Structure 1
Amino acid sequence: MTRPRADVTMVVEKLVARWAAKDTAGLSRLFSTGVRWWTAPVPGAPWPAEVRNPREVESFFLAFRAVLELTGITTRGLVVDGPDAVLTGRLHARVQATGAALSYDFAVAVTVHGGLVSEFRMYADTLAIARALTQDVPPVSP
């Protein structure tokens, strides 16, 4: 029998792996129906502000991918306490419209019950994201 701490760690590792692999369908299957979700609003972002179920989780990450091409996730730390976990790291992306590179620190707090994420809170540099989505920046050369 696995320990609850190991279960929570495994779910967080799957979440990061599926996000990095751009597997939005697989990512959404990690979330429970009735998930409690919070992300800070980002002016100009196309993703939904309210997310309540796996289908809406998938919509969130599809909308994210429509404007930001994820180029990498660097994890820095993971703290697990019972069913709760906090992951810190840095996200690397390229703005689809301009080709501009974007990197920002993040923290994700999750609660896992029954092997599924029941609560999800993402803290990110919303000002950097909003600026990247609205500025007319010339494309970055390959």
Structure 2
Amino acid sequence: MTSRSPSTAELVHLVLARFGATDAAGVARLFAPEVEWRAPDVTSARWTSGIRTRREVESFFLSAFSALDLEGISVHRLLVDGEDAAVLGRMRWRPTSTSDVVDADFSLSLSVHDGEVDGCWLLHDTLAVAMALGAVRTWSP
């Protein structure tokens, strides 16, 4: 008996569930050994793009979870078209260094092949996160 690979929608649900459980290793196991990656570094708001290994994906999530305690995630829309999926939602974070709360919208685009995520594009409110972490300040006259 052979096991079937999860569908794109099932894999997206698994990614979100592991993310919601702040399980960096569990999220990374759902990714292919090499991933086309586009996402801002959580602690610096600097963009990283290119091919990433599964270990680098895990490191990204470990860094995010160590800087920000995830309090909640809600999905507003999930769109699936074959091997591609887009997720629109909102996350609630609390920086581990302060008591501030960050509510940030996000969008996530995933590409799936042979039951593994092989493409990831994460967009979130980097300014709100950077401000909450004290990495930037706004100026008002």
For Structure 1 versus Structure 2, the TM-score category normalised by the shorter chain is 0.7 to 0.9
Question: In the alignment, which residue of structure 1 is the partner of 2:57?
Answer: 57
Question: In the alignment, which residue of structure 1 is the partner of 2:13?
Answer: 13
Is 1:120 the equivalent of 2:125?
A: no
Question: In the alignment, which residue of structure 2 is the partner of 1:30?
Answer: 30
Matched residue SS, 2:99? coil
**How far off its partner does 1:48 sit?**
8.8
Q: Is the 8 A contact 1:48 1:59 kept in 2?
A: no
- TM-score of the superposed pair, with normalisation by structure 2: 0.85
Q: Is the 8 A contact 1:44 1:133 kept in 2?
A: no
Matched residue SS, 2:62? helix
More strand by share: 2
Q: Is the 8 A contact 2:8 2:85 kept in 1?
A: yes
In 2: Cα distance, 1:41 partner to 1:93 partner: 15
**How far off its partner does 1:44 sit?**
3.0
The letter of the residue matching 2:39 is: T
The letter of the residue matching 1:49 is: T
Matched residue SS, 2:106? strand
**How far off its partner does 1:99 sit?**
1.6
Gaps in structure 1 of 5+ consecutive residues: 136-142
- Superposed CA RMSD: 2.6
**How far off its partner does 1:24 sit?**
1.1
Q: Is the 8 A contact 2:43 2:67 kept in 1?
A: no
- TM-score of the superposed pair, with normalisation by structure 1: 0.84
Matched residue SS, 1:85? strand
Matched residue SS, 1:100? coil
Gaps in structure 2 of 5+ consecutive residues: 136-141
Question: In the alignment, which residue of structure 1 is the partner of 2:74?
Answer: 74
**How far off its partner does 1:35 sit?**
0.3
